[in-house]
Amino acid sequence: MLYHSLLSYKFPGVFIMVAALFSATFAQTADGFAGQNGGTTGGKGGKVVRATTGTQIHQALCGRTSRDEPVIIEVEGIINHGNTAKASGMCNTADGLIELKSVSNITIIGVGSGAVFDQLGIHIRDAKNIILRNLTVRNVKKSGSPTSNGGDAIGMESNVSNVWVDHCTLEASGGEDEGFDALFDMKNGTKYVTLSYSILKNSGRGGLVGSSDSDKDNGPVTFHHNIYKNIESRTPLLRFATAHSFNNHYDGLSKSGMNPRIGGKIKAENNYFENANNPLGTFYTTDMGYWDVKGNIWGNNVTWVPAEDEFPAGPNVASTISISIPYDYTLDKTECLREILAKTAGAGTNLAVSDGACTTTNINSGMAGSRQNTAYSHPASNFNLLGRTLPNTTVSRIAVTEKGIAINGLGIQHIYSK
């Protein structure tokens, strides 16, 4: 549910009711490494387009006056191969996947009853300043039928920077033998990425940063407040890159977990591991990586099994490097992490977040379909609306979910505040 503010103000002999949207889309800002390098704002300040098919998403991208004109695409419904075709214009799209190629300044956010990308991956290539929020991407295959995006739920490659993926659910139904690849891959010059408050589950591979031993120019990347459930390996795999992983819950890592190798580095803080084999170390190579660890809980059924080319960090886990983080962040206590993430991670959780005190803050109550109304009022005063001062203004707020609502004959308009 999106909150609309109703602003009434008077001029001599005239009474006007103005409808404006103060969107919870921007109630949070990109943090972690996505908040560096100038920050990640997506389509903030741009027009708002509604999409219920993949073709409409492509049309929203292609219908801009330039490839960097900001746009916010609100998505509701099931997006699949049957309703996704390429479009033409200020874009470079393709059939069979959602293609964000050679574009910038884009937000795609699930609204209403939610947005599900079914067997259809999201591909980000030669792009910057991208936000994906409140989306489910499931069962994307690289072999079998239908195939999409090389089998990646979300894949980034070739000169990508400043991407924030938040409150998303990425899932498969098996590993390579079942035709799936990874859930969250970054390669060939992908930088300044944050994955937050998301769920990655039921996959052979979580994701990688760097696709080969010659792919050296990726990262940094932040992973925080995510749930990894039933993942065989790569949570993540790091080649050369630097990652910051904090306040994540790992449950069901059958082969290995965090795998910094060939100079990859990870700072792992206040993460909770259970039912995990070799949750941290360098694996499947003799080219070692490094780790800086603090406050993690190695819980029930965590095992450490070395082999000829497998070098687990445990059972007596200690740092092998010190990694400095350039941004501010708040660590939740590891002991309460599982309870917090059960309420906040993934799509359909109303963009709820931790408040840093073992409780949660719901910044967008009812976003995914609730019809509960809330209201507030503000006394008459001068009010600034998108740079324009409205004198003697009374502000009230109601929550609406239906399209086409009219108030005193005027329709609700989507005007995103800066």
User: CA-CA distances (angstroms) from residue 396 to 4, 102, 367, 401?
Assistant: 9, 41, 19, 17
Q: Which residues of 26-37 are buried (b: 16+ CB within 10 A; e: fewer)?
A: bebebbbbbbbe
As a whole number of angstroms, the distance between CA 227 and CA 321 comes to 26
As a whole number of angstroms, the distance between CA 83 and CA 88 comes to 16
SS3 251: strand
Instruction: Give the count of beta carbons closer than 10 Å to the beta carbon of residue 275.
Output: 17
224: part of which helix (H) or strand (E)?
strand 221-224
Residue 86 corresponds to which amino acid? K
Marked catalytic residue, from 125, 234, 239, 261: 234
- Tokens 């931790």, located at residue: 354
Instruction: Give the count of beta carbons closer than 10 Å to the beta carbon of residue 321.
Output: 13
For the chain, what is the radius of gyration of the CA atoms? 22
Residue (of 137, 245, 148) closest to 201 by Cα position: 137
End-to-end CA separation in angstroms for the chain: 19
239 is catalytic: no
Residues belonging to the active site? 234
